[in-house]
């Protein structure tokens, strides 16, 4: 693929840092961008697994302390996560 086509798809702003890192060599800049995509894909798996594990652990702790419906109870009026602002926004939507 020609660099200009690649840049038009990705965006000149995004590719600028890759071009600078590669000393203006557009072929190397495209390769570096592709390497970054692969690294991001690998990291996404790790981050995703960590996020699910963390949410599950938080849920276990919160259920033990506040009961099975802790999240629902927290967002209801008077709950720890209740927000009058959120309630106002919900009314606007409905």
- Domain definitions of the chain by residue range: 3-93
- Please write the tens of the pLDDT for every residue from 24-79: 999 999 999 999 999 999 999 999 999 999 999 999 999 999 999 999 999 888 88
CB 86 within 8 A of CB 92: no
Tokens of 91: 């009314």
Cα–Cα distance for residue pair 39/43, rounded to 1 Å: 6
Over residues 83-94, the mean pLDDT reads 61
Cα–Cα distance for residue pair 19/33, rounded to 1 Å: 10
Cα–Cα distance for residue pair 77/92, rounded to 1 Å: 17
pLDDT value at residue 80: 85
Cα–Cα distance for residue pair 82/73, rounded to 1 Å: 9
């Amino acid at each position: 693929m020609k660099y200009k086509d690649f840049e038009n798809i990705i965006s000149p702003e995004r590719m600028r840092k890759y071009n600078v890192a590669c000393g203006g060599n557009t072929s190397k800049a495209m390769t570096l961008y592709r390497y970054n995509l692969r690294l991001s894909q690998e990291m996404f798996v790790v981050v995703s697994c960590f996020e699910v594990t963390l949410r599950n652990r938080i849920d276990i702790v919160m259920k033990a302390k506040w009961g099975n419906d802790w999240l629902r109870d927290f967002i209801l009026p008077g709950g720890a996560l209740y927000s009058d602002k959120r309630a106002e926004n919900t009314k606007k939507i409905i």
